[in-house]
Structure 1
């Protein structure tokens, strides 16, 4: 997923949409992995149903907070570690998703013009 440098021209809009789709799919994959990790962990350590585990993992990953109180020490440790992971993962996934958009905006502003275009 290489981006062009400032000496290269801005890619055409259809190519940009393909790039945006690739980055979006990658971000979606990271979300699936993160939610799956949390769902399995909450089900195993927290001894809660699959649906409640999924709900809890989604709420923690998006920063909304816990839904079910963890009662065992191992569940509390997992919940704490998953919350720390989720904070970093949420910001990283957001950055991955917005990378092509921000790059395109900055690239349009900083493209060097050749003498023919002046």
Structure 2
């Protein structure tokens, strides 16, 4: 997937293609997580579709719920969805930062080899 430390640094256009691909993957992960939240709020908390989208977006973005939850089942779902959203946030940050972090570490390895020779 990425070049190994013995290979030369990938050209800038390859790095940009890789970064765009990983941003796309991150948006897919966010979309799936948002869909889970919208469906859960709609069918478990019995919110309208727009209110479900609002609540799922707010929790996924780390802001917190907007509406009052009518039942214990809805409160349990919101609790688990909030924990799930925290993990999604960490995962998405890892996905988005992976190409840049790899490139930076690869540059350090190239610098080491230049100093040895």
**Normalising by the residue count of structure 2, what TM-score does the alignment of the two structures yield?**
0.92
> Which consecutive residues of structure 2, in runs of 5 or more, have no partner in the other structure?
none
Find the counterpart in structure 1 of residue 23 from structure 2: 24
Q: 2: distance between equivalents of 1:8 and 1:65?
A: 45
**5+ residue gaps in structure 1?**
none
2:51 corresponding residue in structure 1: 52
Match of 1:66 in 2: 65
Cα distance in 1 between the residues matched to 2:7 and 2:68? 53
* Distance in 2 (alpha carbons) for counterparts of 1:103 and 1:68: 41
SS of the aligned residue for 1:41 comes to helix
Tell me the TM-score normalized by structure 1: 0.91
CA distance in 1, matches of 2:57, 2:8: 40
Equivalent position of 1:76 in the other structure? 75
State the match for 2:100 in structure 1: 101
Q: Displacement of 1:110 after TM fit?
A: 1.3
Q: Could you list the structure 1 runs, at least 4 aligned residues long, displaced by more than 4 angstroms after superposition.
A: none
CA distance in 1, matches of 2:100, 2:56: 28
Higher relative contact order (CA 8 A, sep 6+): 1
Give the superposed CA RMSD: 1.5
